[in-house]
Chain A
Amino acid sequence: MNTHTKSDGVGSRARGMVLAAGRGLLLAVVSLPLSILGFCLSLVSMALIPIGVGLVTTPYVVRGVRAFADRRRTLSGRWGGVSIPSAYRPAPATANPWTRTFALLRDPATWRDLRWLPVDMTAGFVTALAPAVLVLYPLEGFALPLGLWRTMTGGPYGEYGPYWYGFVPVSDQTTAFGAAALAAVVLVLAHRYAVSAFQAHFRLTKAMLAPSQAELTERVRVLTETRRDAVDTSAAELRRIERDLHDGAQARLVAVGMDLGTVEMLVDKNPEKAKELLAQARRSSAEALSELRDLVRGIHPPVLAERGLGDAVRALALRLPVTTEVGVELAGRAEAPVESAAYFAVSEALTNAVKHSGADRIWVDLRHSDGSLRISVTDNGKGGAATGAGTGLAGLERRLGTFDGVLAVSSPAGGPTMVTMEIPCVLS
């Protein structure tokens, strides 16, 4: 039983060794030219940016390098069990080559790729090849005493002196056996270390390709900030709801109760007065209802709950005093918090447009592409809107920030104003 397990362990180890050697060889042979090609093209393309050619070529080259690096990331997971997260920023969907190139160059991941390429073609190549060498080299050592030594030391090779196998000079049958002994030692080493050498390759790749600590720190800072904003906002929201309920609906219902109590007392003595109070009670309850309705609309609009973002924005547009066209291209619904944030963001942008722009037409466009919800609110008003402290747009920016969303405003004096929002999310 015990022996069986042991031999099984040795067998699977041998399989692992052969597999590592094969994959390492393949990886080394395939990736060396690709790494060199990618590195050279990147350098040339970036060098050509000043004369304009690079602006066009760089996005393609960088994207190619990214695909190559991503392929290696998946291979690391599949062959080495080393998972490497891919952390590229989403490329902007703009046709302007300068913006595109600039966004790519600003992404630290681009520079990380560029640093990785020379390492991959040197140390990476060696570590990928090592298991194959460890496995294949002993084969030569074993072939030497079988007669290969005669070929290697005789004939035209004779004048070069002994044939070196590792540190063993092979010149006759005895030294050939020595070489075989060394080969056996190497094979034992291969059996023990081939897999870990191959692992070393992936650990090296990970060290070069994984997002750096600084980036993670920056990410944590942003997350902490947006979380604080979100908590502040929701606390303020709760306070507002509490106050509205307390001063509004709750107070009115109390008044209804009091009126009804009085009616109960008056109904026999003074029916006229009782009727008057009943009418008043009904009015109060109707007002309480309409206040509750407004409150609900402010928390989570009913149409949003019932139909989702597209129809909620359409319904919103129908209530605006300004003619508003809504275009929706959404294949499904986003998560409820995202939908809600997007809805209120659109609502705020529309309110701004109605209040300040002086526009007589507004266009809202909602679409989902490349893993992002994209919303634009455009008006034909007088323009001059700006983001920054104290404006409604800053609040909008904060609201979107919680979901890693971004806001861009284009509003030259004289108009038109275009507010664009983007929230990364998936539809279901």
Chain B
Amino acid sequence: MRVVLAEDLFLLRDGLVRLLEAYDFEIAAAVETGPELERALAELEPDVAVVDVRLPPTHTDEGLQCALRARRDKPGLPVLVLSQHVEQLYARELLADGSGGVGYLLKDRVFDAEQFVDAVRRVAGGGTAMDPQVIQQLLARRANDGQGPVDRLTPREREVLELMAQGRSNAAIAGKMVVTERAVAKHTANIFVKLGLEVSDDDNRRVLAVLAYLDQGR
């Protein structure tokens, strides 16, 4: 799988290259600045891009803007955005086109190599990988609103919903929660009923539906 990597800090870029290569990814390009990233995305046609939000020359949200532009030009181009901090504002912008293949993670998640690589693969496959922090904030908000449907979920179901919103499949959720896949399927079915969402087999659409639900009524 060919990856374009954009990160301005040498140590981190180097580390990511080694990490990804260790997991059999091919690094098509590892760039430092926004314009370089823009060129690499246009010319190299990678399977997935891993992008830092803040990039030179502006040192603002150049990386995010590049990713959004690239996805406008090539809809569905898988992009995993890494950041020192996560903001719902940015998560919403990434999810806004509804075409999947996006991820938005704290840089800390790289600590857990397995989990991080899993996220890269999921994004490359058209799925989503949202940082647990974003999801928790979203859920906390809905819960605080009082009479929201999220309140009617059992703690177990909330846990499943959180993992689901991060973009995990039923099998992954079952593994994480140490229950059978059947149990997870039952929970998800209950969640969909309580939230009034249409059941769908597609992982990606499932997550987008959850997020869209969490988004509405604000």
Produce 1/0 per residue, A310-326, CB < 8 A to B: 01001100111111000
**CB–CB A302/B88 < 8 A:** no
- B84 near A302: Cβ-Cβ < 8 Å: yes
A286, A307, A321: which contacts B61 (Cβ < 8 A)?
Answer: A307
- Asked whether, in the complex, the Cβ of A286 is within 8 Å of the Cβ of B140, the reply is no
A315 pairs with B140, CB closer than 8 A: no
Tell me the minimal C-beta distance from B214 to chain A in angstroms.
Answer: 11
Instruction: Pick out which of these stretches binds chain B: A27-35, A126-134, A289-297, A367-375.
Output: A289-297
With A307-B60, A318-B137 as contacts: A302 and B108 at CB distance below 8 Å: no
| B23 adjacent to chain A (CB < 8 Å) | no
B140 — which chain A residues lie within 8 A by C-beta? 321
Identity of the chain A residue whose Cβ is nearest the Cβ of B141 in the assembled complex: A321
Give Cα A285 to B87, complex, Å.
21
Contact B88–A315 (Cβ < 8 Å): yes
A227 in the interface, Cβ–Cβ < 8 Å?
Answer: no
A113 to B60, CA, bound (A): 49
Closest to B88 in A: A318
Chain A residues with CB under 8 A of B146? 360
- Interface hits, B107-135 → A, CB 8 Å: 108, 111
**B163 lies within 8 A of chain A by Cβ:** no
Any B CB within 8 A of the CB of A181: no
B135 to A: closest C-beta gap in Å: 13
Q: CA separation between A290 and B107, bound complex, in Å?
A: 11
Measured CB to CB, the closest approach of chain B to A252, in angstroms, equals 13
Tally of chain A residues near chain B (CB < 8 A): 23
The answer to the question of A303 belonging to the interface, with a C-beta cut-off of 8 Å to chain B, is: yes
A319 touching B88, Cβ below 8 Å? yes
Give A285 to B137 CA distance when docked, in angstroms. 22
**Minimum CB distance partner of B107 in chain A:** A289
Query: Is residue A282 contacting chain B, with contact meaning CB distance below 8 A?
Result: yes
Would you call B145 an interface residue if the criterion is a C-beta within 8 Å of the partner chain's C-beta atoms? yes
Name the distance in Å between B12's Cβ and chain A's nearest Cβ: 13
B85 close to chain A: CB less than 8 A: yes
Q: Which residue of B lies closest to A322 (CB)?
A: B144
Set B54, B108, B144: member contacting A286, Cβ < 8 A: B108
Contact A302 B137 (CB under 8 A): no
State whether the Cβ of B218 lies closer than 8 Å to any Cβ in chain A: yes
Tell me which residues across on chain B come within 8 A of A296, comparing CB atoms.
84-85
A306-B89 contact in complex given A318-B137, A321-B141, A323-B145, C-beta closer than 8 Å = no
- Find the A residue at minimum CB distance from B111: A282
* Smallest beta-carbon distance A192→chain B, Å: 62
Q: Inside 8 A of A306's CB, which chain B residues have their CB?
A: 53-54, 60-61
Q: Given the complex of chains A and B, what is the CA–CA distance between A319 and B136 in angstroms? A: 11
Chain A residues with Cβ below 8 Å from B144 are 321-322
CB-based nearest A residue for B133 = A290
Determine the chain A residues whose CB is within 8 A of the CB of B111 once the complex forms.
282, 285-286
Residue A47 lies at the interface, judged by CB distance under 8 Å to chain B: no
Residues of chain B within 8 A (CB-CB) of A315 are 87-89
Contact A311 B89 (CB under 8 A): yes
Asked if A305 is an interface residue, CB under 8 A from chain B, the answer is yes
Residues of B contacting A307 in the complex (Cβ-Cβ under 8 angstroms) = 60-61
CA–CA, A285 to B110, complex, Å?
A: 12
User: Most A CB atoms within 10 A — which of B53, B54, B108?
Assistant: B108
0/1 per residue, B41-68, Cβ < 8 Å to A? 0000000000001100000110000000
Q: Which residue of A lies closest to B60 (CB)?
A: A306
Tell me which of B88, B108, B137 contacts A289 (CB under 8 A).
B108
User: Contact string, B74-90, partner A, CB cutoff 8 A, digits 1/0?
Assistant: 00000000001101110
Looking at B87, B141, B218, which has the most chain A CB atoms within 10 Å of its CB?
Answer: B87
Q: How far is the CA of A323 from the CA of B111 in the complex (A)?
A: 34
What residues of chain A lie closer than 8 Å to B89, measured between beta carbons? 303, 311, 314-315, 318
28 contacts between A and B (CB under 8 A): A282-B111, A285-B111, A286-B108, A286-B111, A290-B108, A296-B84, A296-B85, A297-B85, A302-B84, A302-B85, A302-B87, A303-B89, A306-B53, A306-B60, A306-B61, A307-B60, A315-B87, A318-B87, A318-B89, A318-B137, A318-B141, A319-B88, A319-B137, A320-B141, A321-B140, A321-B141, A323-B218, A360-B146
Beyond contacts A293-B84, A306-B53, A319-B137: 4 other A-B pairs, Cβ-Cβ < 8 A, are A289-B108, A297-B85, A303-B87, A311-B89
Interface residues of B, Cβ cutoff 8 Å to A? 53-54, 60-61, 84-85, 87-89, 108, 111, 137, 140-141, 144-146, 218
